[in-house]
Every structure is written in C-alpha cells, then in structure tokens.
Chain A
Amino acid sequence: MSGQPFRLDGGGRIDRSRTVRFTFDGAACEGHPGDTLSSALLAGGRHLIARSFKYHRPRGILAGGVEDPNALVQVVTRADLSEPNKRAGQVEIYNGLKVRSQNRWPSLDFDIGAWTDRLSALFPAGFYYKTFKWPAAAWMTYERIIRRSAGQGRAPTGPDPDRYEHRHAHCDVLVAGGGPAGIAAALAAGRAGARVILAGEQGELGGSLLDEPADGRRIEGQPAADWLAAALAELAALDNVRVLARTTVSAYYDHNFLVLLERVTDHLAPADRTAALPRQRLWKLRARRVVLATGAVERPLVFPDNDRPGILLAGSMRRYLNRYAVAPGRRVALFTSNDTAYRTALDLIAAGVTVGAVVDTRPAPDGPLARQVRDAGVAVMGGSTVVRTSGRRRIDGIEVMRLAADGRSVEPGLSTQIGCDALAVSGGWNPLIGLHAQARGRPVYDPDTGAFLPGEPVAAERSAGGCRGTLSLGGALAEGFVAGADAARDAGCAGAVPPKPPIVAEEAEAPPRVLWRLPGRHGRPGRAFVDYQSDVTDKDLKLALREGYRSVEHVKRYTTAGMGVDQGKIGNVNVLGVVADALGVPVPEIGVTTFRQPYTPVTFGAIAGRGPGRFLDPVRTTPMHAWHAANGAEFENVGQWKRAWFYRRDGESMARAVNREVAAARAGAGILDASTLGKIDVRGPDAATFLDRVYTNMFSTLKVGRARYGFMLGEDGMVMDDGVTARLADDHFHMTTTTGGAASVLTWLESWLQTEWPELKVYLTSVTEQWAVMSLCGPMSRQILAPLTEGIDFDGDAFPFMSFRDGTVAGVPARVFRISFTGELSYEVNVPAAYGLAVWQALMAAGRPHGLTPYGTEAMHVLRAEKGFIIVGQETDGTVTPIDLGMDWIVSKKKDFIGRRSLFRSDTVRTDRKQLVGLLTDEPGHVLEEGAQLIDEATVPRPPVAMRGHVTSSYHSPNLGRSIALALVEDGRARMGGRIYAALADRTVPATIVSPVFYDPEGKRQDG
C-alpha cells in the first residue's frame, strides 16, 4: 500500500484486490477499481493538483464531483488527442489512464505564472478591459499575447476518432438524479407501471447513500448500502424501468424535451473499448413527467485564504472517507456554519483520524450531532471563525478568533492556532435547481438556509430531495416516493400505488447560520475567494459595485464570477450573498443569474453524433448511377443528388471532356441522365384550373398529348421554378420541376391547394423517383431511338415538338417526350426507375454506331446557355421577374395567377431593371467569372462604383469557338451592342452586350 499512504485499511466501496495504475503529470500513481481520480490522488497524499486560472494559485480538490471548481485536469489519450477541464471527481480511473495538470509551466509544483498572484493587487477585476483598451489599435497586438496565457487546458489538435451516437427516447417519467430521492422516485413510478428512465450521473447509482459508513444511518433497519442494493435490484427487474448510469441530464427544453449525455466508454481503458460502441450517447428524450432529484452541492465559507490545497468541503471529505476509504489527512480541523461537518467529524474519529477542532460560526452549537462530537472529546469552538490559514502547497494550520455577535467582525482578543493538514469546510448547501430553472421555473430564496429553492414548476416537473432543500435522508426518500408516484399518476399510469416511504433512523440537524463574507483579523480582511475557478474574491465583487454595476448579471460578467467550466455551481450563491451584503439589501433583490443549458459541458462529438462523415447528408443517386461511375463520370453535387458532371475519357482534362460532349450533342447524339428532375402527378377535375393559377401561362388550353413549358412565380412576382408539364388526360397532368425545387414546389402547391383553394378537386402525388429519365438529343437521336421503340410513330407530324407519346423502349413501357433543353432534336425517355439502367444500356448499345455520347451537367449547362435558356437559381436569384428575363410571352394577360399583381408594382414595371442579356468578351478566349460585377467604366473609378449588373453564366462554347456569357444588366435590352466591363480584382474585361441566344436563333435545329 506504499503508493496509497492515506488509504484506510477497511471500508469503502473500492476493490482492494486489484490495483489500477495511472500517471499524473508523468508520475506513477495507483488506486483501486471504484476510485475516481480525486480519491486515488488523495489516497496517494496529493492535494495540489491544479493551478488557478488567473493567479495560478495552488489548488486542490475542493469537492467530490462535477461541481468542483478547482480540480480540473486534462485527460490525455494521445499526443494530439486529449480532453481538457475534466473534473477529477468525475474521472473514473483505469489502467493506463494519463492525466496532466493544467494552467502551469513548467510544472505544477513550480509554476512561473504564479507571479501574477504576488502582484494580484495589480490585477483586479476588469484589469484587462481597462489596461488594454487604449490605444484601440494596439488591442490586436495585446490580444495575441493575452490569449496565449489565457484559457483553461488545451484543446486537442487531432481529429476525434471516437464514435458518438444520438438516440430518441420516450418515457412516462424521467427521474433526473441517482441519489436516494431519485431511486425512491423511480421505484414508486416503476411499481406503478410507468415507463421510467432513471439517469444517474456517476458510475454507481446511490448518490449520498454511497457516502454512508457501514454503521451510519439505517433505512428500514438496514444499512444504507443494503437498502440501496435491494432497491437497484428491484429496478433492474422491472421491464418498464431503464436505469442509465454515467448519464447527465444536461438540458431541459420546452414541452418536456430533455437532452441526456451518457458516457458509455469513458471509464474503460482504451483496450476495453470496442469500435462498435459509441464513446458517448446523446439521448433526445420526451418525458410526460419529470422528477428532478439532482441533489444539492455544498458551498464553502468565504473566509481569508480559503483556497489552499487540503481545504475540502465537509460533505465531500466524508465521501472520500466512507465511499473511497481515503483519509484526507492525519490531523483534520473542521469549519462550519451548520451540522454537516459534525457527521464528517464523527466519521473521521471513527476512522481513526485525529480531529483538531470544529470551528462553528453559530454561537452555541448544541444539536445532537454537535453533542456527539463534543462527547468524543473534540473541541467545538462555537461563535468562532477562521481568520487565516497557512501553508503554501497544502494547508498546515488555521488561526481562529471569536466572532462578534453580528458576524461581521471578530471580538478583540487572542487568536487560537490549530495545526492541521486538512480542513473541512461547510457553508451550507446549494440545491441544484438548474434544470428546474431551465424549465422556466423561478427560484425562491430561503433566508433561513441561504439557499435558492425551486419555485412553482412551469413545465410538467416536480422536485424531490436535496434539490428541493430537503437535506435529511428520510426526507429525501419520502419526497422521492411521493414525487415518483404522483408523476406516474399524472402521466396516466393507472397502476399507481400509494407510496410507503421507508423509516430512516437519523439525527435531526440543528438550523444553520447564514453569513456571507467572514471577517479576518482586525484591519486585515485577507483574500477570500468566492469563485475559485475564476479567481474572483469578495474584493473584486465589491470593486464591480463601486464601478457602478448593480445587476448581478453585470457583476458576473465584469468579474467573470460563475463563468468557468463549473458555471458557478459552488460559487454563485456566495457571489449573490456577498453582493447583497455589500449593498445592504436582501439577497432576492439582486436577482438570480440565469441557468443555461447544458448543466455540465457536453462534448462537440456528442452533439454531432454520427453526423460528421458519410451520414452528414444523404447522398442520392439515380438508377443509372453505377453506369456513370463505371464509365468515367465525375459527379457534381446538386442538392443531395450526385449527378454525372462530365465523363472523363482516356485521362482527358475536364475542359476537353466537356467540349467533346457538347460537340457530340450537336453533331451526332448525346444522352443525359435527367432522372433527378422533380415530377408531380396532378390529377382531378380541377387540375387545369389549378395549373392556370400556379403557372404564369395558360394550361387549360393545352391539348391532351401535348406539353408546355411553364413558369411559377412567388406571390412577389419573382421566378420561383420552371418546368415542362404535359397533359396526359383532361383531368391528368405530369408536371416537372427543377431538381432543387422538387420538394419545395410540391409543398408550396399543397399549401395552395389545402389552405387557399380547398374547393379545387386536385390530388398531387410526387412521382420523382418512379421514373428514370434519359434525355437523348442531337440530329442522330431519332435514328437511335426509333428502332428500339415500339408503338410510337416518330414521323415529324405524328410526333411534333412539345408533345409526348406512350410506347415501349427496349421492351420497357415508356413515355417519350419530344422536348428540348439544348435546342437540338431531342427526346426525353421516361421509364419505370427499376428499368432505368437496362434501358440506358440498351440506348447506349443502339447508339454506339451513331457515336452516341453520354454528357454530364456541365455540357448540359453549356448547351442550354448557347441557346440562352435560363436555369432557375442561376439566372434568377429571387429578384428576377419573367419580364426581366425577356420572357413576356410566357405571362398570360387573360387570367390571374400567383404573383401576377406583383408584376405591376411600381418597382417591377421600371424599365431600367436588370434584364437578361448575352455578353461577348472582346477576347474570345476569356471566360468571365460567374458572379463578376459589371460596370460602365473601362478602369475602375473611385468608390462608390455603380454596379450595372453581374454575370450569371459563363462558358467556353465549342460550337461557337469562343466564350459566351449570360448576365443581368440594368436596362440591358436597350443597350444591345453597347459596351460593359467586368470588374476583376486587378483589371476590367471589356465585353459587348448581345442577345442571350447565341446559337441557332431561328430554332431550326429542334426539328432535326
């Protein structure tokens, strides 16, 4: 046991038969299974484990769990992979665990940064705000230097290799907290048949029950540990109860939606972690009712030099002693304002630790617990206070004086010196009301205990036990049973049985005394820390008040009190008390700081879940995807779709590939996978009426068998989507939308049908993925398609432009549209998606003798730009009307349609609006950048420069043998033949404004 000199020989819940070895700052340390890092370090006699944030003061373990403001460490997995700011009481040790201390250089014991402490008088609250704000420009320099010395711990530099999961869950009753009240609540709700989730923060459930010694308080006549074991066994046997250990209820949102963080493998040695198990799991939980049983954390007293290593909270010291069998020192003193410390004193005595004295701020401590301590021969110093402590890296003594009656100063007279190597401190308890407050509850101040208690619940929650200010074990159990049963009943569980709380034998506790800043010696107030983690003293708080801050939210931000990793779980109430005291007002008058989610820090990995990587967003592929991939296609992301961008042949460049594809589509034949276009089946007697209302042009006049290109506008008159819609029957249309607009257009159409025109008899059904679509274009397309097709007469008159025919292609039932997005003779073949690949392959085979060339979206863009065909979202951006695009012909004047009235607003009828034009650069080889701004001047004048428009599309056109561009230009149609300049970073590029139709303006080619 040489590595654990402070480990007691008996007791505790650790497994002495096995030794766990780990390192702290490289030094070999050991402990046992069941230990946390805190308990193992204390067993080794190490109290100094961190340096404070601002003054680099030596700090030890103050508390027992996540609330500890001092014991922050960095858990190191690899050189580039570590996690900062883990609270030592939260880290379960395993073989090979590596831990580094934080905020020190070069070492914990000798830290150069501690110079700030010697000069602390120069670094009051607000120091940085005041010192470095002038001259303003210099802040950029200061900041870099200050940032280097600031921050707690170090962020990992490598990628996070761990797996994280999310999962949804639903329950009747969520119990937050695995202590006595929580277990009681889960038992009561579980017995009533409710679906219960019990979430406990620690590896072992039981909370304060685990801190009871074997001969401590008894429940129903049994030791607490035995009652606990039986209760947990009962919960485990209930199918309707799920117990989650190592799970923190982090956040409580509206409608009883809660987020829980489960640490699945953090406590395991890396070798024991499996790749399939997530490191952490984020639960997204909907609970009908919530029982908050989060307990309370002890707060320290605010007295001079109250931050030395070796000073522990009394309840935490008792936990280390009883649960982990660790003596906090050889000779311990206690300092308290309530009865908590007496239980610790009694257990210390029983464990054989020398107890120097109990210093109590109450004038005459005379409760049953105090009497037992006195009877054991320990000096109880009532009406006294600790005015000073000594010992640099660990406490070695305290100085005690009599308090004046009002507790604000000390009585004249000599002080008493007491030597000790550990000091237990208790200033009362802070109920953990964070979740209640997150759920919009308003805390209520209880002056008798100096504690904030949960107020009237707003959400469907109730509090039980310590978090409700009930500190006795019997009280916590009783409240837990009632809360669990009530919650189950309210959640609608008929099986609710009246709870029968167990009988607990325990001493009554005498009332506490509430004092905030305790005095030092006469005229020597000393330094008393209120928020340890941010190094905020009472003096800093008072300075903030002198500076004029009154709201506690402002005081908090000015001093940074409560803004650390711990979020002031221990310090905030003392902050409020000290501030209220200094202002001479009751505590409730200065308000409460806001409790925000999360309760304790949540890793980014857990928030991201499986999100990063291949599940970031669905990758959608068409039925012909495998063919594209096997034939050299490179893919372009179009929303979630992967579309073939171009097909690289024999290692050619993208430019060469696109030129080849574009040329082939005009000279011979090309084929494009157009399956991603949105498709909507529109059916019903009012279908034509409906389409007339949503399209700018008329569809009621469309004949069966014919198709028409249409524009949809928003009610603001701006182009929203376009596509070709065909009339399959009088009451039946097949609508197509853009690829990106498929989902949003359907939702939009449904909203009009369902909410504005419910009288229209029309049903819409998305058929986007029912059809595989291949667009065959070029002069040879008819020769390729016709022999494969049955049932369709391809003769020009029999199958005119903008019509469709049903037949079979390659033996598969198909609908063939004669429509064109390239200006060439073109057929769009639609077949059921399951046959998409087969038909594509058949077309490719049939087309090979004719040089059929697959082309991708890039060539498609070039082909349509040569024809001046727009793409919604490229030529339009939500500010463009059909008139701006020069497409007045598509706007019917005979009917109303969505957006029509907006086309006659004063702004939309301006003649100098940006209009669609073509651009030809003087240099035929120069392809303008899309998005380039267009100006009137050949050299960029001094700002402000009038922007006349911008380039929307720009390509090299192999068919024209030069570059072409489409642009939106102010008053563009009136400027045909005029000059305009694209402003680049270093020069301008001159261009001539021309018609947007560059190729085959007569439109002869679409008929082949």
Chain B
Amino acid sequence: MMLIECPWCGPRDQSEFRCGGEAHIVRPTDSEGMSDAEWADYVFMRKNPKGIHHERWFHAHGCRRWFNMTRDTVSDRILAVYKVGETSPVGDGAAAEAGAEASK
C-alpha cells in the first residue's frame, strides 16, 4: 500500500487514488491520416515496463485532480510526482540507475 504525495493534498494513502495507466500519451490530432496500425498503437499499445514507469494517477477520493507519477514497478518506489503538463524530473539515465539499484 503506497503512500502517494498528491501534488495538491500532500501524502495520502493509496486507497484514495486510482491509477490511470501510462502518462504522456498524446492524442493525435490528425487521426484521419493515420493508418489502422498507427491508430491502434495509440489506442491499445502500452509500455508496461519492469522498472521506471511514468504514469497518470487520479486523487479519486480527494481533490479529484489528475497528476503524473514516476514509479519503479519493481520496488514500488515513487521517484517523482509532478503536475500534468510537466515532464518527469527523472530522466531515462536516472531511471536506468534507479532500476539497477532496485533490482540489486
């Protein structure tokens, strides 16, 4: 049971939140010109990595705001919580490092 730092409400129990899956998937604006495969990639395909994952969370039973979180799926360590529209302060280099540490 994670302790999640809501960017607005502060640390709260995981039971107050809902995970919204992978973050930073941008909805295509030119879907008309996309192939079925390209469109399916947007709609259906997700990363599901072992290690660092940027994902969307929703404070469902609190302030009802969506936000982003970078989490190590191996250790459940939360590496960053950041607002919608921001990029994760945990870059891929740092991500690889944290992943290696977590799997030690």
Give the interface segment out of B36-44, B45-53, B90-98: B36-44
Asked if A239 lies at the interface with its beta carbon under 8 angstroms from chain B, I say no
Asked if A542 lies at the interface with its beta carbon under 8 angstroms from chain B, I say no
Asked if A507 lies at the interface with its beta carbon under 8 angstroms from chain B, I say no
In the bound complex, do residue A715 and residue B43 qualify as a contact, i.e. CB atoms below 8 Å apart? Answer: yes
Q: Which B residues touch A253, using CB under 8 A?
A: 1
Determine the residue in chain A with the shortest Cβ distance to B32.
A901
In the bound complex, do residue B64 and residue A901 qualify as a contact, i.e. CB atoms below 8 Å apart? Answer: no
One digit per residue, 1 when the CB lies within 8 angstroms of any chain A CB and 0 when it does not, for chain B 19-31 equals: 0100000111101
Q: Which B residues touch A716, using CB under 8 A?
A: 43-44
In the bound complex, do residue B56 and residue A254 qualify as a contact, i.e. CB atoms below 8 Å apart? Answer: no
Given the interface pairs A747-B58, A901-B31, the reply to whether A755 lies near B66 with Cβ below 8 Å is yes
In the bound complex, do residue B3 and residue A750 qualify as a contact, i.e. CB atoms below 8 Å apart? Answer: no
In the bound complex, do residue A286 and residue B40 qualify as a contact, i.e. CB atoms below 8 Å apart? Answer: no
Q: Which A residues touch B58, using CB under 8 A?
A: 747, 750-751
Taking a contact as CB atoms closer than 8 A, the residue among A168, A286, A896 that contacts B3 in the complex is A286
Taking a contact as CB atoms closer than 8 A, the residue among B27, B36, B44 that contacts A756 in the complex is B27
Asked if A440 lies at the interface with its beta carbon under 8 angstroms from chain B, I say yes
In the bound complex, do residue A750 and residue B64 qualify as a contact, i.e. CB atoms below 8 Å apart? Answer: yes
Asked if A700 lies at the interface with its beta carbon under 8 angstroms from chain B, I say no
In the bound complex, do residue A902 and residue B3 qualify as a contact, i.e. CB atoms below 8 Å apart? Answer: no
Count of A-B contacts judged by CB separation below 8 Å: 60
Asked if B60 lies at the interface with its beta carbon under 8 angstroms from chain A, I say yes
In the bound complex, do residue B39 and residue A755 qualify as a contact, i.e. CB atoms below 8 Å apart? Answer: no
Determine the residue in chain A with the shortest Cβ distance to B84.
A755
How distant is the Cα of A668 from the Cα of B65 in the complex, in angstroms? 48
Q: Which B residues touch A896, using CB under 8 A?
A: 29, 31-32
In the bound complex, do residue B66 and residue A750 qualify as a contact, i.e. CB atoms below 8 Å apart? Answer: yes
How distant is the Cα of A905 from the Cα of B40 in the complex, in angstroms? 9
Determine the residue in chain A with the shortest Cβ distance to B23.
A755
How distant is the Cα of A255 from the Cα of B15 in the complex, in angstroms? 13
Asked if A263 lies at the interface with its beta carbon under 8 angstroms from chain B, I say no
Asked if A754 lies at the interface with its beta carbon under 8 angstroms from chain B, I say yes
> Which chain A residues numbered 749 to 773 have a C-beta less than 8 Å away from chain B?
750-751, 754-756, 758
How distant is the Cα of A256 from the Cα of B2 in the complex, in angstroms? 8
**Min C-beta distance of B36 to chain A, whole Å:** 5
In the bound complex, do residue B3 and residue A747 qualify as a contact, i.e. CB atoms below 8 Å apart? Answer: no
Determine the residue in chain A with the shortest Cβ distance to B68.
A755
How distant is the Cα of A755 from the Cα of B42 in the complex, in angstroms? 16
Q: Which A residues touch B64, using CB under 8 A?
A: 747, 750
Given the interface pairs A255-B2, A286-B3, A747-B58, the reply to whether A901 lies near B18 with Cβ below 8 Å is no
How distant is the Cα of A905 from the Cα of B18 in the complex, in angstroms? 30
In the bound complex, do residue A902 and residue B56 qualify as a contact, i.e. CB atoms below 8 Å apart? Answer: no
How distant is the Cα of A376 from the Cα of B71 in the complex, in angstroms? 64
One digit per residue, 1 when the CB lies within 8 angstroms of any chain A CB and 0 when it does not, for chain B 66-101 equals: 100000000110000000110000000000000000
Determine the residue in chain A with the shortest Cβ distance to B20.
A751
In the bound complex, do residue B76 and residue A254 qualify as a contact, i.e. CB atoms below 8 Å apart? Answer: yes
Q: Which B residues touch A901, using CB under 8 A?
A: 28, 31-32, 34, 39
In the bound complex, do residue A754 and residue B32 qualify as a contact, i.e. CB atoms below 8 Å apart? Answer: no
In the bound complex, do residue A286 and residue B32 qualify as a contact, i.e. CB atoms below 8 Å apart? Answer: no
Taking a contact as CB atoms closer than 8 A, the residue among B18, B40, B84 that contacts A754 in the complex is B84
Asked if A900 lies at the interface with its beta carbon under 8 angstroms from chain B, I say yes
Q: Which A residues touch B1, using CB under 8 A?
A: 253-255, 257, 284
In the bound complex, do residue B85 and residue A758 qualify as a contact, i.e. CB atoms below 8 Å apart? Answer: yes
**Min C-beta distance of B50 to chain A, whole Å:** 16
Q: Which A residues touch B39, using CB under 8 A?
A: 901-902, 905
Q: Which A residues touch B18, using CB under 8 A?
A: 747
Determine the residue in chain B with the shortest Cβ distance to A753.
B66
How distant is the Cα of A755 from the Cα of B66 in the complex, in angstroms? 7
Q: Which A residues touch B65, using CB under 8 A?
A: 754
Asked if A594 lies at the interface with its beta carbon under 8 angstroms from chain B, I say no
**Min C-beta distance of A691 to chain B, whole Å:** 17
How distant is the Cα of A256 from the Cα of B18 in the complex, in angstroms? 20
In the bound complex, do residue B20 and residue A905 qualify as a contact, i.e. CB atoms below 8 Å apart? Answer: no
Q: Which A residues touch B60, using CB under 8 A?
A: 747
| 16 other A-B residue contacts (CB within 8 Å) besides A901-B31, A901-B34 | A168-B13, A254-B75, A255-B2, A284-B1, A440-B75, A458-B75, A715-B43, A751-B56, A755-B66, A755-B84, A758-B84, A896-B31, A896-B32, A901-B28, A901-B32, A902-B39
Chain A residues with a Cβ under 8 A of chain B: 168, 253-257, 284, 286, 440, 458, 715-716, 747, 750-751, 754-756, 758, 896, 900-902, 905-906
Chain B residues with a Cβ under 8 A of chain A: 1-3, 13, 18, 20, 26-29, 31-32, 34, 36, 39-40, 42-44, 56, 58, 60, 64-66, 75-76, 84-85
- 5 closest Cβ contacts across the A-B interface? A901-B31, A257-B1, A255-B3, A254-B76, A754-B66
Q: Can you offer 12 A-B residue contacts whose CB atoms are under 8 A?
A: A254-B2, A254-B76, A715-B27, A747-B64, A750-B58, A754-B84, A755-B56, A755-B66, A755-B84, A758-B84, A900-B31, A901-B31
